Structure 1
Amino acid sequence: MAHGTVSKAWRGHGLAPRPAHLLTQWAFNDIGFHRIELTHSVHNAPSCRVATKCGYDLEGTLRDFRRHHDGRHDMHMHARLRTD
C-alpha cells in the first residue's frame, strides 16, 4: 500500500498527479499489473481529484472501511485498468 501526502503549503499546485501518474504507468508497463485500486477517505476531496486526474474511475464507497485518528471513515474506491 502506497501512501503520500502533500504538505499544506504545496496543496493545489498540481504536484501530486504527476508522481501518481508515473507510478501508475510503471505498475502497468514494467510490473505488468492489470488493475490498480486506490482508496481515500470520503472527507478527502483533494485525493479524489488526484485520482480522477490520473484516470482512476470512482467505483464506489466502502462503508466504515478504515480507521483514522478521528475514528472510522467511509472510503471512496477508485480503480484503473491497463486497458483504460
Structure 2
Amino acid sequence: FVSEAFRVFDSMPEKNLVSWKAMIMGYARNGFCREALKLMYRMEAEGFEVDDYIFATILSTCGDIQLNEADSSATCYLETS
C-alpha cells in the first residue's frame, strides 16, 4: 500500500506540508526508513521546512537495524541544519 500511496503523492500537482508529512510518516512507520529520509531531503529541497516532529518520528520509528544504514545521513542532517 505504501507504493500506491507514493504514486498518488508523486502525481499531486501541488504538495503541502500535510501531504509531505503524511507520506514521510507512512514510509517511516512501515519500515521504509531510507525512503523516509530521502523524501525528507526532497521536501526540504522543494522549499518546505522539516520540523522537529518529522525528524523525531523518523528517528523513533526507524530505531532498528535499518537506522544503522541511515544513521550517518540523519547525523549529517542534524549537523547541517
More helix by share: 2
**TM-score where L is the length of structure 2:** 0.37
Structure (1 or 2) with the greater strand fraction: 1
Which one has a bigger Cα radius of gyration?
A: 1
